[in-house]
Structure 1
Amino acid sequence: MPEILFLPENKKVTVKEGVSILDAATKNGIHLEHNCGGVCACATCHVIVTEGFGNLSPMEEDEEDQIEEAEGLTLKSRLACQAKVLGDLVVTIPFCSKGGHEH
C-alpha cells in the first residue's frame, strides 16, 4: 500500500490506493484546510507534491480551473481533495499567510 510523508509535520501514513490526499490527511489527524468540504470549490487544500508527482491520478479540468486560485502555486501543486494516491508520495502542506505569520 502507498505511503505518504506529510511535511512539515514529518508524519508518514499508509493509505489504500485510490484515496485522496485530503482523506489520507484527515483520517490520520493531519490538519489540512478544506473550506468547501472537499468538493473542488475552493483551493484551501492546496498541497505541493515534492516527491512522487507521477504517483497521482491525472488532474481533471475542474481541478485545473480551481487550483489557479491557490496561494503559492507551483508546477507540483495539486488540490488534495482531487489528487488520488497511486503510489508513494512526499507532500508539503504550504503555510498559508492569509491568517498572518506565526512566530
Structure 2
Amino acid sequence: MPKLTVLPHPECAPGGAVIDVSRGTSICDALLEHGVEIEHACGKVGACTTCHVVVREGFASLNEASEAEEDMLDRAWGVERQSRLSCQAVVADGDLSVEIPRYSLNHAKENA
C-alpha cells in the first residue's frame, strides 16, 4: 500500500502526517479520510483550485493531469511544475510526498 507523506502545514497538518493510501484513491480523499482538512470548495470535481498541492516526491506515479485540470491550475496561487489538484490526482503504486500551499484562492469565499 502506498504511503502519502504530508509536509507540515500550519492549519491543515501542523505536525505533518504519514498516511497509508489505497491505490485508486485521490490525494484529496486520502487527506480528508485521515483528518487533513484540505479545502475542496467545488466538491472535488476539479472546478476550483482550493485543493491544490505540490507533489514533492512521486509525481511520476500519479495519473496524467487532464487539460481541464492544467487550465484550472493556471489560476492557482503558488503553482509549481509539480502542482496538482488533489481531487484529480489519483494514487497508483508509488509513495508520495505532498506540500499543501500556505494560501489558496477560494473565489466563492472571497467574493461573498
TM-score by length of 2: 0.84
What 5-or-longer segments of structure 1 have no aligned partner?
none
Does residue 74 in structure 1 map to residue 86 in structure 2? no
Query: After the TM superposition, which parts of structure 1 deviate over 4 Å for at least 4 consecutive aligned residues?
Result: none
> How many equivalent pairs are there?
99
CA distance in 2, matches of 1:97, 1:38: 15
Once the two structures are aligned, what percentage of the paired residues are identical? Answer: 47
Q: Tell me by how many angstroms 1:36 deviates.
A: 0.5
After superposition, the CA RMSD in angstroms is: 1.5
1:7 maps to 7
Residues 14-53 of structure 1 aligned to structure 2 (within 5 Å): 14-53=20-59
CA distance in 2, matches of 1:82, 1:29: 19
Q: Give secondary structure in 1 for the equivalent of 2:76.
A: coil
CA distance in 2, matches of 1:4, 1:59: 19
- Within the candidate set 87, 96, 102, 1:95 is matched to 102
CA distance in 2, matches of 1:94, 1:81: 15
TM-score by length of 1: 0.91
